[in-house]
Structure 1
Amino acid sequence: DFAFTEVRIGVAPAVISLPLLPRVEPRAAARYFLTGERFDAERAATAGVITEAADDADAALAPVLDGLRRASPQGLAESKKLLTVGVLDAFERYAEDLVQRSASLFVTAEAREGITAFLERRDASWVR
């Protein structure tokens, strides 16, 4: 199962949002970031959280691994640069702000209550 449960303990999925938001379907990101609900691998694949859901991981990985083995080191390196430039740019622009935002949320009374409730296996005080 997958989940972004930060909202349930009084914080936000700030830092993980950098690499995820450009890849995840916006309505799915909103739903799962705001609710913290669990979702399965099939829904994760549909939403863009993962590439593929498969019952047989070895069979699903075989063509990927074969393709990687056949690729040239230079071709792989340059292709990876193309694929990561947007995420790296976003990290340069936003990472410090998101890290600070996340840190400031973790020290609030609401986050303390959420984390304590989680550790004590009970609902937080805001759950009705």
Structure 2
Amino acid sequence: MTIEYQLDQRGCAHIQLSREQVHNALNEQVIAGLIAMIDRAHQEQAKAILLSGRGKHFSAGADLAWMKSMANNSREANLADSAQLAALMSTLNSARMPVITVVQGAAYGGALGLIACSDIVIAARNAAFCLSEVKLGLIPAVISPYVIRAMGESQARRYFLTAEVFDAEDALRLGLVHQISDEPEQVAEQLLTQILKNSPQALIAAKQLISDVSGRPIDAELIAETAQRIADIRVSEEGQEGLAAFFDKRPPSWVS
């Protein structure tokens, strides 16, 4: 089994890379499996996703056997493989529900794409990160839009070109990681508990808001659009319930 999936009683989808023997390296099966599991979380209307890797490492990047096979493939076959990886990044990045990722040990190559596409990333103190592609004569092309957005162009100019390993403190400084902990799973659980107290529809709308507003100029069009969004959600079913619960000093209906 390359991917483990469980929807817990709270409605959180646990998706875990499960190739511990090869440090959870990515290959075509893992990539397809992750896409399928994220789609499953949507189908089951999961309230959040917790992404992790079994064992000592989150993911060592591309599987060596997979890389070797791709090197012997045609350009067309390589393009198909790359398109599948691009589909994974897009699927994770556009997930409707919050995505929390726990990182321990190695997070190399494509693993940084998964991290950059997550909403919240908690790293163990032993986490080590590397954009290692140029060492192999390659470039981090497919993950670049997400990683550059996370760390910024200036830092990408360094780490894309040096392929140096950097630690959790550097990843925190660069914006790839939100928090470092000796107990990252425990922190992730605390964050999940906090998130699951919030309106499911508001969480979806908040994620979409970030995506739609990020990078846009603050002009009359954006101002009008954001005013419309808050008006729409105020009169929505969950918006009405949330406000009523606040004024009645009671838990809203989505809090069990």
Q: TM-score, normalised by structure 1?
A: 0.59
Unaligned runs of 5+ in 1: 88-128
Amino acid at match of 1:72: S
**Aligned residue number for residue 112 of structure 1:** none
Matched, 1:36 2:163: yes
Q: How does 1:47-62 map to 2 (within 5 A)?
A: 47-62=174-189
**Aligned residue number for residue 65 of structure 1:** 192
- Counterpart-to-counterpart distance in 2, 1:55 and 1:85: 35
Change (3 A) 1:28 1:55: farther
Amino acid at match of 1:81: Q
Amino acid at match of 1:33: F
Q: How does 1:1-128 map to 2 (within 5 A)?
A: 1-85=128-212
Displaced runs of 4 or more, over 2 A = 25-28, 58-63, 83-87
Higher relative contact order (CA 8 A, sep 6+): 1
Greater mean alpha carbon deviation, residues 71-80 or residues 27-36: 27-36
Unaligned runs of 5+ in 2: 1-127, 215-256
The count of corresponding residues between Structure 1 and Structure 2 is: 87
* Secondary structure of 1:15 counterpart: coil
- Counterpart-to-counterpart distance in 2, 1:9 and 1:86: 37
**Structure possessing the higher radius of gyration over alpha carbons:** 2
More helix by share: 1
Q: Percent same amino acid among aligned pairs? A: 34
